[in-house]
Structure formats: C-alpha cells, structure tokens
C-alpha cells in the first residue's frame, strides 16, 4: 500500500557523500576540533570579578573620551542682542525728509 521510503539516516549519508557543502562543513568542524587543546584551556587567564569590573570601567572611560573628542565644541548657540531693525515705513519717512 505504502512505498518504502529510505530512513533519515541513509538519506543523510547519501547527501553527505555527494554534497560539497556538507563536506566543507565537516572539514571546518574537524579543523576546529584540532584547535581545541585541553592543556591550553587550563592555561587560559580568567579575570576575577574586581579585575573584570576595573577593565569594564576603563573601557567605558575610553569610549566617553572618544565621544567627547568627536563632539562639536564651540558650536553651541550664543544669544546676542540684535540691532533694532528699521521698518519699511520708517525708511519711507527718512526718504521723504531728505
């Protein structure tokens, strides 16, 4: 009644043999596995809580200084009193007098 379909395991084996992407992924994962070394993991430096907090404060200070350096200083608005402008009607009166 139903046709037999290949199991999931056999279909993935067929795909992995013929699919270049799968072969590429396998080569990458093998390369990453070779890079992991338990002896080197033991030698890794782990910062204490205080040291981690100090480094993060220094990084924040550096970011703040960079931002302040990029800030457009001297570009703030300054308010000064404007000279009183002469309206058009006053100009017309001056012309008539002369």
Taking only the tens place, the pLDDT of each residue in 17-66 is: 678 899 999 999 998 888 888 888 788 888 899 999 999 999 999 999 99
pLDDT greater than 70 at residue 80: yes
Q: Which two tokens stand for residue 27?
A: 């080569």
Q: Is the pTM of this model over 0.85?
A: no
Q: Which two tokens stand for residue 75?
A: 């570009």
pLDDT of residue 10: 47
Question: Which residues 6+ apart lie within 8 Å of 23 measured at CB?
Answer: 16
């Amino acid at each position: 009644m139903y046709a037999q379909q290949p199991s999931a395991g056999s279909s993935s084996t067929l795909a992995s043999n013929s699919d270049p992407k799968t072969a590429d992924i396998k080569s990458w994962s093998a390369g990453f596995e070779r890079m992991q070394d338990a002896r080197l993991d033991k030698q890794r430096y782990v910062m204490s809580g205080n040291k981690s907090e100090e480094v993060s404060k220094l990084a924040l200070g550096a970011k703040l200084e960079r931002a302040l350096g990029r800030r457009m200083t001297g570009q703030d608005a300054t308010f000064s009193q404007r000279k009183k402008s002469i309206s058009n009607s006053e100009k017309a009166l001056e012309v008539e007098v002369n």
